[in-house]
């Protein structure tokens, strides 16, 4: 845990109630008077301690018991702060203040400013009940604050071809006539999705911006035994095709353990299995190398004969794929497939390249978009991995 930082402390004195008697005079206050201080604290990414001073405006003249408990507001126990059972503090003669230690739970999820209270009271009724307010100031980035950059674009038409399908990701929700959410961690049949990935895929990690962009967010969030969440969407049984040109305009995330992919699988995977069905990785990026993308083809008559081949493609001058949009493309003909980045050839494959294995790339395929966390290739995130991470997709277009 980090050293704790206590921010703006705002004193607020709360006095015992006073009332005038019939003659208009104010009687003497004889009970103890609570000294209330409200606290603001920045949440942070790691848990931190907050020392809250509670007690009385003046030293007590005899033994006094103060009881405190933490009370949910918009901040919730064991999500935003660690719960504490009601606790008694004994003030001996001459004492006025004591400190209680509260753990503020850090995370990397955007939340609004939240509050909870420390309720102070006497079970003997020796002083008036009151409370102090703790305000947790969130320091994470809202999806609404995510900057949508510029970058490369692609044509809306090509000579001799027509647009047969596209998704411009306009609206506020995924078009489930074309896409399906894959939910979970792959268990029980394919735990870790076959790659020892660490995320749990769920619907909530997809959002839409400006009526024009799909955003997949990977974030540290506990779901069951998984410590991270993200989203994975597929077009299987809904949008499948062979041959033509595909253009996908996207901004990619970064960070050790982050693994975004725009890829395809053979539609006959349920009949003949993987890798016999074939796999086309139009784009994969390992977050620890944010200036490099990979184009890869997987094939093999059986799992034991799995073979893959591909190439890397690099940006220059320190540029990263998170800085701007780039175009990731597929040009697909019978017996010849190419993957490209901004019209630069990344890798290509023909039947002679797969021998003696079968060539699976003359059959129907479907799309998969996902951002994995962890896995055999990228490894696990570390304490330096920034979260949340986002893959932004502007559109996908298929021409034939």
- What integer pLDDT is reported at residue 19 of this predicted model? 30
Mapped onto helix, strand or coil, the DSSP state of residue 270 is: helix
Q: How far apart are CA 31 and CA 269, in angstroms?
A: 78
Fold of 143-399: Jelly Rolls (2.60.120)
> For 9-137, which CATH superfamily applies?
CalX-beta domain (2.60.40.2030)
Tell me the Cα Rg of the chain.
30
Q: How far apart are CA 88 and CA 106, in angstroms?
A: 27
Catalytic-labelled residue, pool 43, 197, 199, 284: 284
Annotated active-site residue 333? The verdict is no
Count CB atoms within 10 A of the CB of residue 87: 11
Tens digit of each residue's pLDDT (9 = 90 or more) over 313-326 = 999 999 999 999 99
| pLDDT-based confidence at residue 134 (cuts at 50, 70, 90) | very high
9-137 and 143-399 agree in CATH topology: no
Q: How far apart are CA 59 and CA 150, in angstroms?
A: 64
**pLDDT above 80 (res 6):** no
In this prediction, residues 319-334 reach a mean pLDDT of 97
| pLDDT-based confidence at residue 245 (cuts at 50, 70, 90) | very high
- What integer pLDDT is reported at residue 142 of this predicted model? 66
- What integer pLDDT is reported at residue 328 of this predicted model? 98
| pLDDT-based confidence at residue 37 (cuts at 50, 70, 90) | confident
Of the listed ranges 132-136, 262-266, 289-293, 355-359, the one predicted with least confidence: 132-136
Tens digit of each residue's pLDDT (9 = 90 or more) over 264-323 = 999 999 999 999 999 999 999 999 999 999 999 999 999 999 999 999 999 999 999 999
What are the tokens at 302?
């059986």
Tens digit of each residue's pLDDT (9 = 90 or more) over 211-237 = 899 999 999 988 999 999 999 999 999
Catalytic-labelled residue, pool 176, 182, 279, 355: 279
- What integer pLDDT is reported at residue 139 of this predicted model? 67
Tens digit of each residue's pLDDT (9 = 90 or more) over 39-88 = 888 887 778 899 999 999 899 999 999 999 999 999 999 989 999 999 99
| pLDDT-based confidence at residue 141 (cuts at 50, 70, 90) | low
In this prediction, residues 373-383 reach a mean pLDDT of 94
Q: How far apart are CA 328 and CA 263, in angstroms?
A: 10
- What integer pLDDT is reported at residue 181 of this predicted model? 98
pTM of the entire predicted model:
0.71
In this prediction, residues 370-381 reach a mean pLDDT of 96
Annotated active-site residue 279? The verdict is yes
- What integer pLDDT is reported at residue 140 of this predicted model? 65
- What integer pLDDT is reported at residue 126 of this predicted model? 84
Q: How far apart are CA 336 and CA 262, in angstroms?
A: 19
- What integer pLDDT is reported at residue 46 of this predicted model? 78
Return mean pLDDT, the chain: 89
CB contact burial 20-42 (16+ within 10 A = b; e otherwise)? eeeeeeeeeeeebbbbbbbbbbb
Of the listed ranges 117-126, 176-185, 273-282, 346-355, the one predicted with least confidence: 117-126
Q: Which residues contact 266 (CB under 8 A, 6 or more apart)?
A: 272, 276, 277, 278, 279, 360, 363, 364, 365
Of the listed ranges 141-155, 182-196, 247-261, the one predicted with least confidence: 141-155
Could you tell me the residue ranges of all domains in the chain?
Answer: 9-137, 143-399
Burial of 284: CB neighbours in 10 Å, binned 0-12, 13-18, 19+: buried
Chain position carrying tokens 């894959």: 182
């Amino acid at each position: 845990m980090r050293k704790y930082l206590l921010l703006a402390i705002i004193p607020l004195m709360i006095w015992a109630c006073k009332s005038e008697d019939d003659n208009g005079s104010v009687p003497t206050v004889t009970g103890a008077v609570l000294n209330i201080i409200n606290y603001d604290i920045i949440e942070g990414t790691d848990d931190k301690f907050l020392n809250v001073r509670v007690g009385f405006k003046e030293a007590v003249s005899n033994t006094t018991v103060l009881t405190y408990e933490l009370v949910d507001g918009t901040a919730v126990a064991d999500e935003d702060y660690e719960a504490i059972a009601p606790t008694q503090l004994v003030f001996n003669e001459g004492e006025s203040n004591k400190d209680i230690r509260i753990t503020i739970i850090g995370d990397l999820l955007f939340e609004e400013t939240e509050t909870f209270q420390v309720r102070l009271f006497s079970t003997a009724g020796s002083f008036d009940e009151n409370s102090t307010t703790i305000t947790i100031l969130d320091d994470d980035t809202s999806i609404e604050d995510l900057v949508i950059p510029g970058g490369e674009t692609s044509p809306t038409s090509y000579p001799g071809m027509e647009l047969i399908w596209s998704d411009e990701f306009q609206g506020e929700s995924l078009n489930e006539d074309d896409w399906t959410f894959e939910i979970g961690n792959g268990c029980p049949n394919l735990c870790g999705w076959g790659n020892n990935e660490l995320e749990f895929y769920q619907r909530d990690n997809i959002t839409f911006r400006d009526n024009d962009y799909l955003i997949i967010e990977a974030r540290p969030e506990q779901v069951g035994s998984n410590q991270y969440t993200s989203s994975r969407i597929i077009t299987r049984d809904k949008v499948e095709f062979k041959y033509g040109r595909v253009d996908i305009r996207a901004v990619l995330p970064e960070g050790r353990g982050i693994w975004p992919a725009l890829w395809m699988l053979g539609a006959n995977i349920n009949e003949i299995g993987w890798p016999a069905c074939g796999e086309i990785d139009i784009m994969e990026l390992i977050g620890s190398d944010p200036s490099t993308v990979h184009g890869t083809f997987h094939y093999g008559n059986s799992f034991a004969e799995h073979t893959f081949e591909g190439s890397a493609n690099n940006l220059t001058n320190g540029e990263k794929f998170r800085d701007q949009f780039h175009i990731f493309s597929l040009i697909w003909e019978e017996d010849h497939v190419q993957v490209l980045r901004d019209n630069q050839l990344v890798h290509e494959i023909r039947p002679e390249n797969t021998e003696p294995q079968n060539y699976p790339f003359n059959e129907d395929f479907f799309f998969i978009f996902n951002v994995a966390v962890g896995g055999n290739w990228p490894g696990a995130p570390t304490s330096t991995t920034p979260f949340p991470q986002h893959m932004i997709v502007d559109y996908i277009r298929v021409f034939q």
